[in-house]
Chain A
Amino acid sequence: MDGSWFGFLAFLLVSVISVGGLIVAAKVLGVRARGKSLLKERTYECGEEAEGPAWIRFHPRYYLVALFFVLFDVEAAFFFPWAVAEKTLGWNGLASIALFTGVLLLGWWYAVKKDALRWQ
């Protein structure tokens, strides 16, 4: 096991070196304008003057998506131990996980009926 995680460290190291090499190459080979140009550094919005800060407020639907994601992903995380041991747990294990999913699906159905899953 130790040997294989050493392999992962080596893997990360080689990928960091390859990416870093490209960054250095871009720093060395990249052209640089002589003076500082304010126009060039302006926020690009298709030629229009950018109005206000870019860090704007967002529709709450994104918040809802994040909530659903947490719900379903935690559920999936609970599924994995069962999934690995499924063959030995048998119908009993299947019944208990079905009960667990049933409760979750009730919540899902509620969300569907409330139109919370629609991207308006």
Chain B
Amino acid sequence: MIFAASLAAAVVIVVLSATALALWYERKLAARMQTRIGPQFVGPIGLFQPVADLLKLVQKEEIVPMGADRVLFALAPPLTVIFALAAAAFVPLWPGVAVVRSDVGVLLVIGFGGLAMVPVWMAGWASFNKYALLGAMRAVAQSISYGVPLVLAAMVPVILAGTMDLDGITQFQATHHWFGLWPIIPGLPAFILFLLAMLAESNRIPFDIPEAESELVAGVTTEYTGMQFGFVYLAEYVHTVVGAAIGSVMFLGGWDGPFAPGLHWLLLKTLCLFTFIYWIRWTLVRLRADQLMTLCWKWLVPAGLGLVFLSAAWNQTGWSR
């Protein structure tokens, strides 16, 4: 009991501080890619920049726009953070240990990922602003569309490992092979599909149409000020960090690694995936709304189905052992 509670507290705190660090890391990375220096004045090499940002946001005045649904308006931003965090509870940290070990871990993680969309819609609806509502509508449409390839891509490790327990999947990868690398045909494309769908679910470039500033002002965050805005922003980063962790658990062997398996491998892989996601973000341009939907429904969904069948066939060939 005490172990479970302190582990839970530790995971929440680590994820939140990792997210704060990720804010700094992303800005530094982006700056390097654009031959700038990035934050450098607050603390050594700008490390305390997220703290300064937080302090600034906390001091701002909170404004509730006229005609807004006050209850939903106030509730939505904190809920985005809580739902985005929740998926982290199922990530296996080292062999046999997660905050929650569940036999249907994959399903729960996907479920909480989908739930994260509800407060975004709440925020858009409650703001009483056309741009916020349009942004929310786009975000929901995009998120539920890309939920389908996400589920299909996540099914590939489930089929290959024969379990929905996230720790079971990692253990299978530790004793056999990492699914992102082998079997190369359903494995690697499924990993890429998973990354794409995850990027789209967390509304990142090249899939950040819900907050395309040239069309929609700032999407759902248009009417939010101060910390309320900060929560929505924070949730996006938490979503990316947790998503990167889940991606490395399902496709890159999680805590498995040479020498000593453990938490450090999971963190290293998460960092690599996170870097990759932001590398994409600062390289590619945004897709158009119609291109985005076409890509999902005409290409990614059938591709995902194909990968599911390929991995099932791989299981049957007998090379899997």
Contact = CB atoms under 8 A, between A and B. Distances in A.
A43 B223 contact: yes
B118 interface: no
Interface residues of B, number: 80
Given A112-B298, A119-B289, A79 B82 contact: no
Interface in A22-74: 22-23, 25-27, 29-33, 38, 40-46, 50, 53-56, 58, 62, 65-66, 68-69, 72-73
Contacts of B132: 54
Contacts of B315: 86-87
A113 B10 CA distance: 52
B60 A31 contact: yes
B133 A41 contact: no
A53 B96 CA distance: 54
B222 interface: yes
A117 B4 contact: no
Contact of A73 (B148, B217, B222, B293): B148
B145 A91 contact: no
Interface in A69-120: 69, 72-73, 76, 79-80, 83-87, 90-91, 94, 97-98, 101, 105, 108, 112, 117-120
A18 B130 contact: no
Given A68-B297, A101-B305, A94 B162 contact: no
Interface in B43-88: 54, 57-67, 78, 81-82, 85-86
Q: Which of A42, A54, A90, A94 has the most CB of B within 10 A?
A: A54
B133 A3 contact: no
Interface in B109-163: 125, 127-133, 137, 141, 144-145, 147-148, 151-152, 155, 158-159, 162-163
Contact of A43 (B65, B147, B294): B65
B185 interface: no
